[in-house]
Amino acid sequence: MFKRLGNIIKGFFGLFVGGLEKKNPEALLEVEKENLRKQISEFNKGLASHAGLVERLITQAKKLGREEEELRAKTGANLKAGNRAAAAEYALKLKDTEKEHDTVQQQLEESEKRYQELLRARDVTVKEAKDKIERLARDIDDMKLQKATAELNEMAAGMVTEIGGAGDTLNRLEGIVEEERTKAAGRARVAKDALDLGDIDQKVSEQDALAEMALAEFAAAEGIELEKSGSAESAPSSGAAEGTSEGAMGPVKES
């Protein structure tokens, strides 16, 4: 019973986590990037240890090679000197050293080959992982773009439906506005036609006449002689005529 209950809880938890992963693919991708970095770090540590083993075998092989040369020289020298027992002892050591050198050399070649294989496997695996991460990043960007485009299209479709549904309301509103505009224009025309322009002109004439009377009274009180309309315009011509007549009579008097 408790096992079944635990399975149900795990199932709900898995669904919850799965939903979070779907909503946050970028976060999941970052986690995988971090995991890849950790794996590369651990792999490099193991690779470094293996490289250390290879270097140790290289050093050991070089050492055995030098020992072989020394033992071969000693064996030859003792044999030439007639020290047969010493030469035989050095020859036996040389044989053991050569056998050990061959073993170490074989281990070195196998270890070096294994190191190169691991190095190549690491590079290939890391490249594939990086390519996959980059591809997933592009897919996520494309997914976000597609989702945004779909949302915009859905919004546009909804707007078209709503605007289409509101067509009757817009038509009624247009009719109301046109009706009110027509009524306002009719009222303005009626008010204009109701004005008595004749009365207005008469009132204007009366105001002008009253103004002229007030000006005449002011001039009479001040002893100022007002010129009649038109006299001011004729005055310059009459003055010019008098000047002409005086100019004409002037030469006659002198004669």
The whole-number pLDDT of residue 110 equals 92
Angle at alpha carbon of residue 184, lines to 183 and 190, rounded to 5°: 90
CA distance 74 to 213: 159
First to last CA, the chain: 160
Domain count along the chain: 1
| Model confidence pLDDT, tens digit, residues 217-237 | 877 887 777 776 544 444 444
pLDDT at 240 over 60: no
For tokens 């919850």, name the residue: 16
The whole-number pLDDT of residue 167 equals 57
pLDDT at 244 over 80: no
**Is residue 112 situated within a structural domain?**
yes
Give the containing element (helix H, strand E) for 134: helix 84-165
pLDDT at 103 over 90: yes
Q: How many Cα atoms sit within 13 Å of 52 on the Cβ side?
A: 6
Distances (CA, A) of 194 to 50, 187, 191, 199: 113, 11, 5, 12
**pLDDT band of 247, cuts 50, 70, 90:** very low
Question: Quick one: DSSP state of residue 195?
Answer: -
pLDDT at 106 over 50: yes
CA distance 149 to 30: 25
CA distance 115 to 51: 7
The whole-number pLDDT of residue 196 equals 57
pLDDT at 12 over 50: no
**Is residue 205 situated within a structural domain?**
no
Least confident piece of the model among 5-19, 65-79, 132-146, 186-200: 5-19
Which runs of consecutive H residues, i.e. helices, occur in 24-83? 25-81
Q: Which one is predicted more confidently, 238 or 34? A: 34
**Is residue 90 situated within a structural domain?**
yes
**Is residue 115 situated within a structural domain?**
yes
**Is residue 3 situated within a structural domain?**
no
The whole-number pLDDT of residue 243 equals 43
**Is residue 220 situated within a structural domain?**
no
**Is residue 37 situated within a structural domain?**
yes
The whole-number pLDDT of residue 13 equals 45
- Where b means 16+ CB within 10 Å and e means fewer, 194-203 reads eeeeeeeeee
CA distance 254 to 220: 44
pLDDT at 76 over 70: yes
The whole-number pLDDT of residue 231 equals 43
**Is residue 36 situated within a structural domain?**
yes
Q: Which one is predicted more confidently, 173 or 59? A: 59
Average pLDDT over residues 234-253: 42
| Model confidence pLDDT, tens digit, residues 119-145 | 888 888 888 888 888 888 887 777 777
- The pLDDT > 90 percentage for the chain reads 16
pLDDT at 28 over 90: no
Residue 143: which domain range? 25-150
The whole-number pLDDT of residue 195 equals 58
Q: Which one is predicted more confidently, 188 or 9? A: 188
Q: What is the mean pLDDT of the chain?
A: 75
